[in-house]
């Protein structure tokens, strides 16, 4: 009997989770944030249901502040794969022109991401949503189950989670309740990169080091992605060789200086790094346990 490598075991587990969701729920959807975890999740979904396309649409909750390269990549991928792509932008946020600069990261995230996601799930009646969160990203994600149950108001109760012994998932839920499902829960950032390398999965070029215009904000390197980025008086962005370990809204995502412009170089960098990729996310530093609060309010 041949034994599976750890990546093959993770792949098999994720595929089993996806098939379980499709079998047990009525209207699933895959949250597609265009990042590397989404890329892996999408690849796994295509494998899980091949030769048919995955039997659920992709949902991108857009904030209007993602990197331009992400929008280009998202549209290219949707076209290539032939899956339905639903893009939802919170219309109330658009009306009030919510943005990370004048309203701050907390309000921007709450209105454009959390509320936007809840609106989209309600609007289309999705009862299960795949997300690409991993346990190694952040402490509140570490304790969340693979099948994370949400109330009709999309709230998460971290003290009331179901056991998942022997990878048996209890999918029973009350009407109007929904499930956030995290097939990549047990993957690490290094696993993701190795899998991308081995399976040759396309990812947004921002993950590779390149010279990009950046400014420093509270110790973080923020890329000047378009002319909406307000500069300090007299400030001139510097071109520095940077890459992103995580991708979100560009004013809230810190770059890291790096020479890693190939996948092996990124993997090697991962082997040496001691910090979580979410160190680069401004929204995670709002307050103590801010991610847990956001998750309780419905953030994915």
Partner 1 sequence: MSPEALNEQRKKAVRLRLDGHTVAVASQRTGLSAPTVSAAWKAFREGGWAAVPVKPRGRTKGQGNTLGAAAQTVLWEALYGAPPQGMPGWSSAALADLVNVRLGLKLTQRAIEHWWETEGLLHAPWELNALAKKRTRAGRWFEKTVAPTFSLYPSAEQRWQGGVRRVAHPQRALYQVYLHGARGKLYMRCYERPPAAFDYQAVWASLPRPAAVVFHGALFSASQTLTEWLDRQTTLTVVAVPADIGLEHR
Nearest approach, Cβ of residue 54 and partner 1 (Å) = 28
Q: With contact defined as beta carbons under 8 Å apart, do 35 and 77 qualify? A: no
Min CB(223)–partner 1 separation in Å: 11
CB closer to partner 1 out of 23 and 236: 236
* Identity of the residue, 144 or 225, whose beta carbon is nearer to partner 1 in the bound complex: 225
Cβ proximity to partner 1, 86 vs 215, nearer residue: 215
| CB of residue 264 to partner 1, shortest distance in Å | 5
C-alpha distances out from residue 212 to 47, 218, 233, 235, 242, Å: 35, 18, 21, 16, 7
Nearest Cα to 182, choosing from 227, 228, 138, 118?
138
Quick one: CA torsion of 62, 66, 68, 73, rounded to 10 degrees? -60
Q: How far is the CB of 9 from partner 1 (least distance, A)?
A: 16
Quote the Cα angle for 244-133-273, to 5°: 45
29 DSSP β-pair partners: 129
Nearer to partner 1 by Cβ, of 135 and 241: the residue is: 241
Least spacing, CB of residue 220 vs partner 1, in Å = 13
Closer of 84 and 211 to partner 1 (Cβ): 211
**Please, are residues 67 and 213 in contact by the beta-carbon 8 Å criterion?**
no
As measured in angstroms, the least distance from the Cβ of 104 to partner 1 is: 23
In the DSSP assignment, the letter for residue 181 is E
Residues at the site binding partner 1, with contacts judged by CB under 8 A:
198, 210-213, 215-216, 224, 227, 231, 234-241, 257, 264-265, 267-269, 271-272
Kindly tell me which of 212 and 295 has the beta carbon lying closer to partner 1.
Answer: 212
Cβ atoms of 142 and 290 within 8 Å: the answer is no
Q: Which is nearer to partner 1, 240 or 285 (CB)?
A: 240
Compute the least distance from the CB of residue 236 to partner 1, in Å: 5
Show Cβ contacts of residue 300 under 8 Å, excluding neighbours closer than 6 positions: 31, 117, 129, 131, 133, 180
* N-to-C CA span, the chain: 39
Whether 181 and 146 have beta carbons less than 8 Å apart is answered as yes
What span, in angstroms and rounded, lies between the C-alpha atoms of 225 and 238? 13
């Amino acid at each position: 009997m041949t034994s599976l490598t750890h990546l093959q075991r993770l792949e098999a587990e994720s595929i089993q989770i996806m098939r379980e969701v499709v079998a047990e729920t009525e209207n699933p959807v895959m949250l597609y944030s265009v990042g590397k975890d989404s890329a892996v999740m999408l690849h796994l979904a295509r494998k899980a249901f091949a030769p048919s396309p995955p039997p659920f649409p992709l949902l991108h909750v857009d904030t209007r502040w993602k990197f331009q390269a992400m929008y280009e990549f998202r549209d290219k991928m949707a076209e290539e794969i032939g899956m339905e792509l639903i893009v939802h932008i919170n219309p109330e946020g658009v009306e009030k022109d919510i943005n990370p600069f004048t309203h701050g990261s907390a309000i921007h995230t709450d209105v454009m991401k959390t509320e936007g996601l809840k609106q989209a799930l309600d609007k289309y009646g999705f009862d299960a949503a795949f997300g690409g969160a991993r346990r190694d990203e952040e402490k509140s994600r570490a304790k969340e189950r693979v099948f994370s149950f949400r109330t009709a108001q999309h709230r998460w109760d971290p003290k009331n989670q179901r056991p998942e012994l022997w990878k048996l998932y209890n999918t029973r839920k009350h009407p109007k309740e929904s499930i956030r499902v995290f097939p990549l829960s047990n993957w690490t950032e290094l696993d993701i990169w190795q899998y991308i390398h081995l399976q040759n999965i396309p990812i947004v070029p921002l993950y590779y080091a390149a010279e990009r215009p950046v400014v420093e904000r509270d110790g973080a390197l923020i890329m000047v992605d378009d002319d909406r980025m307000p500069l300090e008086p007299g400030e001139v962005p510097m071109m520095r060789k940077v890459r992103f370990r995580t991708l979100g809204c560009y004013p809230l995502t810190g770059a890291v200086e790096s020479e890693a412009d190939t996948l092996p170089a990124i993997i090697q960098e991962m082997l040496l790094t001691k910090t979580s990729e979410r160190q680069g996310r401004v929204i995670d530093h709002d307050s103590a346990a801010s991610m847990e609060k956001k998750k309780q309010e419905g953030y994915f």
